[in-house]
Chains A and B, each alone.
Chain A
């Protein structure tokens, strides 16, 4: 029987959630025994190659590319999980929701202290994804099946959730694993 397939992506996050996944230490050896990885920053596969059992999303959506990737994950993943506070609430990036989008662009491309932009224009390069007018959590864009709170969720939290999902159970985590203060 083929191993279950797992895919992960970092949208508007800091990669801290992925680092936490690496933090499971030697259990990583068990993990590669248990599953095959599809698209994931760690194996550098850029596009999902086929049906996926579990998708893990770090980060919320701040631009059109994030939306695109998230929709792709939703289409291919049986179970989709919002991992970490950025995916669930928007997190730190969502602080920019208090600033008008024009000011964000101007600070980044025109006025910021380290900016050198003789054209004096906001770039229209297609390589730079268009920003959404506000950073939104993943579940506002697509249906999300499970949420793992934490910034980042601890390695134990991620491990407990993954093993539960692989066993076909909803990750019902004990209080100690989802309490942060």
Chain B
């Protein structure tokens, strides 16, 4: 017997052409409608799509926005990233728990509210922040959180959550009819390339007047390197993709922006969508792709309608679709793929899996995406900011672009600055800018530490402030979190490890287990029960995890420990103890005996208590 929920699920499959590669979209839609993906629904979907049940269940269990437990009609996801905790996200959590009478991870008995923690939601400059379903609530203090929940309780049937929650729109396009968000752009320093005033379209027209090979050559001459973290030369990636099998190829824009502390792509998506789509179109032309995908992280779902609107406007203007700009033979269109809350999906091969409706597991390489990517076809995955540089390079010339920044790191870089400073927000600076200069711009008062590049990057101290932000020195995908006096770099490293433990896909043992062991040992040292040999242990284990992990997540996850060991070694050393008689300081005899004492009702004979 099929329930109405199962029938509705089947209808949603039909809306997606019963295409199993659209499984993620289907599941998101069913989850939105029913609040859960239970066994009956999973069976119905598997039968309808003609795939094994486990393929559906595996995807449901992978993504944090999906689940088989019933969730409330309003899911509140409070961000627990470091900048949020620094400004009291824990107090906000207490307020929410008290007001709703449930703990995090629970749903109210009336099925209205669910409380969950979220990894960074891309709002570090306006922390603490939370998502109420798709609606972003930035700058959420404990008092405001309580008031908001009380107000929502008064409205059992919420047709338009956004209207009820958002009191004041943010700057720029955040007040656009299709966005209506309280989010602020906080653009502090527009630079020459991406946040400059510009007219759109010149780059695309120029590109289409050239051959694809010439476009690639121009991008190579500009020495453009990827802005998503790895810094791979963009022109070379396109060349590889173009050299892949003839036939359909794909261009994928990575707007997953999951690296904690990074939010610059959010601002670009809000303020420069045309520049991005123009860049994607040029990239499609260069690699010979007629289809593009924008992988938009689930946390940015509030931008979706607006971005769809921009896309349809571009179709109307002949900038997308058949014969782009009247160029016969060049067809290109873009589909938006929504993510569902998984950091590892930012890794390009995992991102491709996710676009294919699979679990977001990274894949083995080779083959590289350029050879066999989305649906097995040659695919180029590029970051939002990277693609935005492209029309500007075409428009202004590769020489102009290469003259910005430093020799090996050309152009500008968008930085997302948050933490202990007075001017949090987005800065576009020439690559090669010294860290100290950025700290001065953002009003950081004698910081003790800066996390450059998010948890997967480096934690540096004042000795490194003269270093340059560029690919060959302090590389960063854009995150810069400032820590002022009184902050504890080791505590922060431990929080970042918790993030990696949560986000590991679990495929490789070094990553799945190693990160847990690193955190245990680090926390032991922090508790004053570590000895000198523990520092060697951390160093060796950290290097092992890096060397033996399959994807970039595990290859960078020990960085919070390894970089603090380098930059803040004295902080570690100050905590070490030298136990007498060869005892291990980490062994807590009292703690280990407490339960037996309680159960037997007597003290220890051997240790006299």
Do A68 and B592 touch (CB < 8 A)?
no
Interface residues as binary, A40-72 with B (CB distance below 8 Å gives 1, 0 otherwise):
000000000000000000000000110110010
Q: Which of A68, A75, A124 contacts B582 (CB 8 A)?
A: A75
Q: Which of A67, A105, A122, A134 contacts B589 (CB 8 A)?
A: A67
Specify the chain A residue showing the minimal Cβ separation from B583: A142
> Which residues B588-609 have CB closer than 8 A to chain A?
589, 591-597, 599-602, 604-607
User: What chain A residues lie within 8 Å of B601 (beta carbons)?
Assistant: 122, 124
CB distance from A97 to the nearest CB of B (A): 12
Do B582 and A129 touch (CB < 8 A)?
no
Do A129 and B592 touch (CB < 8 A)?
no
Q: Which of A124, A126, A134, A139 contacts B592 (CB 8 A)?
A: A134
Do B604 and A141 touch (CB < 8 A)?
no
Specify the chain A residue showing the minimal Cβ separation from B580: A75
Specify the chain B residue showing the minimal Cβ separation from A132: B592
A142-B582, A142-B583 known; A124+B600 contact, CB < 8 A: yes
A64-B593, A131-B596 known; A141+B583 contact, CB < 8 A: yes
Do A133 and B584 touch (CB < 8 A)?
no
> Which residues A126-155 have CB closer than 8 A to chain B?
126, 128-134, 136, 139-143
> Which residues A90-144 have CB closer than 8 A to chain B?
101-102, 105, 122-124, 126, 128-134, 136, 139-143
CB distance from B41 to the nearest CB of A (A): 34
Does chain B have a CB within 8 A of A5? no
Q: Which of B533, B586, B606 contacts A68 (CB 8 A)?
A: B606
CB distance from B517 to the nearest CB of A (A): 13
Do A124 and B602 touch (CB < 8 A)?
yes
User: What chain A residues lie within 8 Å of B584 (beta carbons)?
Assistant: 139-143
User: What chain B residues lie within 8 Å of A124 (beta carbons)?
Assistant: 600-602
Interface size for A (C-beta < 8 A) is 28
CB distance from A140 to the nearest CB of B (A): 6
Q: Which of B586, B596, B605 contacts A132 (CB 8 A)?
A: B596
CB distance from A53 to the nearest CB of B (A): 15
Do B600 and A132 touch (CB < 8 A)?
no
Q: Which of A65, A105, A133, A136 contacts B594 (CB 8 A)?
A: A133
Does chain A have a CB within 8 A of B507? no
A67-B589, A74-B581, A142-B584 known; A133+B596 contact, CB < 8 A: yes
Do B595 and A101 touch (CB < 8 A)?
yes
Specify the chain A residue showing the minimal Cβ separation from B607: A64
A68-B606, A124-B602, A140-B587 known; A130+B596 contact, CB < 8 A: yes
A126-B602, A126-B605 known; A71+B581 contact, CB < 8 A: yes
A64-B607, A126-B605, A130-B593 known; A75+B581 contact, CB < 8 A: yes
Q: How far is the CA of A140 from the CA of B602 in the complex (A)?
A: 25
A71-B581, A74-B581 known; A130+B587 contact, CB < 8 A: no
CB distance from A18 to the nearest CB of B (A): 23
User: What chain A residues lie within 8 Å of B591 (beta carbons)?
Assistant: 133
Do A143 and B582 touch (CB < 8 A)?
yes
Q: How far is the CA of A74 from the CA of B594 in the complex (A)?
A: 24
User: What chain A residues lie within 8 Å of B599 (beta carbons)?
Assistant: 101-102, 105, 122
CB distance from A81 to the nearest CB of B (A): 13
User: What chain A residues lie within 8 Å of B604 (beta carbons)?
Assistant: 64, 130
From A67, A68, A130, residue with most partner B Cβ within 10 Å: A130
User: What chain B residues lie within 8 Å of A134 (beta carbons)?
Assistant: 592
Q: How far is the CA of A132 from the CA of B606 in the complex (A)?
A: 13
User: What chain B residues lie within 8 Å of A101 (beta carbons)?
Assistant: 595-596, 599
User: What chain A residues lie within 8 Å of B533 (beta carbons)?
Assistant: 143
User: What chain A residues lie within 8 Å of B597 (beta carbons)?
Assistant: 130
A71-B581, A124-B601, A133-B594 known; A141+B607 contact, CB < 8 A: no
User: What chain A residues lie within 8 Å of B582 (beta carbons)?
Assistant: 74-75, 80, 142-143
From B591, B599, B602, B604, residue with most partner A Cβ within 10 Å: B599
Do B593 and A141 touch (CB < 8 A)?
no
Q: How far is the CA of A169 from the CA of B586 in the complex (A)?
A: 29
Binding site for A on B (CB under 8 A): 533, 581-584, 586-587, 589, 591-597, 599-602, 604-607
Can you list 5 A-B pairs with a CB-CB distance of less than 8 A? A68-B607, A101-B596, A132-B592, A141-B583, A143-B583
Closest 7 pairs between A and B when the two form their complex, measured CB to CB:
A74-B582, A130-B596, A124-B602, A132-B592, A68-B606, A143-B582, A133-B595
